[in-house]
Structure 1
Amino acid sequence: MIGIRESRPEDGGRVVEIWRNAVDATHDFLLSEDRLAIDEMVCGFLPQAALLLAVDASDYPLAFMLIDNGHMQALFVDPACRGTGIGAALVRHGLGLHPRMTTDVNEQNAQAIGFYEKLGFTRTGRSPFDDQGRPYPLIHLEYQAGLSAPAAKA
């Protein structure tokens, strides 16, 4: 059984581990120097960030989501749990809090774009650079109410 809860200070190390494992599994387009710079930045803020965690029956974090003012800044799932519905469950939980949620996805991450589009997000634009000005284009997405999202797998 999967639960969703807010993060606590003691979750910081596990959250960084999930982030690193997920990025290594899905972001092979990053240059190594960019990956290291992003890692340093993430380690500086992620452990203290207010996150929503998907946890197993033992309260062990398997995935996390960061939402800021209705914009999903991050959704990362432990690669061992990909395809189990955990990410979709977190997104649906977030949509319950922010029905017009937006997010940005690296254009090179086609699987993530497909994931969000399946959940009812539509493309609203594109930026040629990421938020730090690096040459990783972003696709801007917004949830469109009325488009069906798959049922929860928990």
Structure 2
Amino acid sequence: MIICELKNNQRTDALVSELVDIWEDSVRATHSFLTHADIETIKLYVPHAIKAVPHLFVARENTGSIHGFLGISGQKIEMLFIATQYRGHGLGKKLIQETMSLYPITDVVVNEQNQQAIGFYEHMGFEVYDRSAIDEHGGTFPILFMRKP
């Protein structure tokens, strides 16, 4: 598996579409608290988020097939999504370790109802330091702010 950073000019419409598919696959597997309508609404914003995130890393096979991606802004993980069939194989851990060797990542925000993600980030050394009853977009999904000391 190759981890590589994609510059803005490498984020073609076809690539973004592939990443949105991974996002949707991952969200449907891990965000059981979201309705179909919630997912479809959020999905409208995902292409822009993927294009706009300052640092975007993908995990791909030598064949070019992408299995997951991670986006960073400043010292914060903005997005980390792994295709369902590759979850639990260390790919998220590898993406975080690789990016942390290049950038000083300290923070992540996680949906409080996504216990799998909370456990994963705790395993990676992050700790909850704050909570909000609404998400970063004003939605009614509580979030946890986590930091790696």
Give yes or no for TM over 0.5. yes
Deviation at 1:47, TM superposition (A): 4.7
1:131 to 133, 136, 145: 136
Alignment partner, residue 148 of structure 2:
143
Alignment partner, residue 152 of structure 1:
none
**Secondary structure of 2:45's match?**
helix
Retained in 2: the 8 A contact 1:64–1:77?
yes
Alignment partner, residue 3 of structure 2:
4
Counterpart code for 1:30: L
- Distance in 2 of aligned mates of 1:97 and 1:124: 24
- Distance in 2 of aligned mates of 1:19 and 1:100: 21
Alignment partner, residue 147 of structure 1:
none
Deviation at 1:37, TM superposition (A): 1.3
Give the RMSD, CA atoms, in angstroms: 1.5
- Number of matched residues? 143
Unaligned runs of 5+ in 2: none
Alignment partner, residue 20 of structure 1:
24
Alignment partner, residue 148 of structure 1:
none
Provide the identity percentage. 32
Q: Please give the TM-score of this superposition, normalised by the length of structure 2.
A: 0.88
Unaligned runs of 5+ in 1: 145-154
Q: Please give the TM-score of this superposition, normalised by the length of structure 1.
A: 0.86
Deviation at 1:48, TM superposition (A): 5.9
2:47 to 43, 49, 67: 43
- Distance in 2 of aligned mates of 1:40 and 1:46: 11
Retained in 2: the 8 A contact 1:99–1:143?
no
- Distance in 1 of aligned mates of 2:35 and 2:93: 28
- Distance in 2 of aligned mates of 1:129 and 1:35: 17
- Distance in 1 of aligned mates of 2:102 and 2:133: 30
Alignment partner, residue 68 of structure 2:
63
Counterpart code for 1:34: D
Deviation at 1:41, TM superposition (A): 1.1
Retained in 1: the 8 A contact 2:77–2:105?
no
2:113 to 104, 108, 111: 108
Deviation at 1:32, TM superposition (A): 3.0
**Secondary structure of 2:68's match?**
strand
- Distance in 2 of aligned mates of 1:75 and 1:85: 13
